[in-house]
Amino acid sequence: MTSQTSTGSCCGSNGSCGSGGTVDIQSSGVVAVYKVSGMTCGHCEGAVSKEIAALAGVTSVKAVAATGEVTVTSTTPLDDAAIHGAVDEAGYELVGRA
């Protein structure tokens, strides 16, 4: 789990680290968009994407820190509790569906 500052950023006040909030295994299936708080940079996007991509059935994840939205494509509808657990494991907060 990534250590967070009081602002929710994994990168401190400058917000510049890493890149890559997209994990695309295969893009077809059920699409759901979630709101996640605390993402401020590419590293944050990557951490959230990595945890969600590890869930069974997930084929694509795109996290966007600027909007706080995470788009998840899966072979079947995902359980919101599983998404919540993955986002929590990454060190962020699932606000709900967008």
Residue 93 lies in a domain: yes
What is the domain extent for residue 51? 22-97
For residue 12, being part of any structural domain is answered with no
pLDDT (tens digit, 9 = 90+) per residue, 11-52?
Answer: 654 444 544 555 544 446 899 999 999 999 999 999 999 999
Kindly report the backbone phi and psi dihedral angles of residue 47, in degrees, each rounded to the nearest multiple of 5, phi listed first: -65, -45
CATH number of the domain bearing residue 41: 3.30.70.100
Do the domain assignments include residue 30? Answer: yes
Total number of domains in the chain: 1
Q: What is the mean pLDDT of the chain?
A: 83
In a domain, 10, yes or no: no
Is 52 a domain residue? Answer: yes
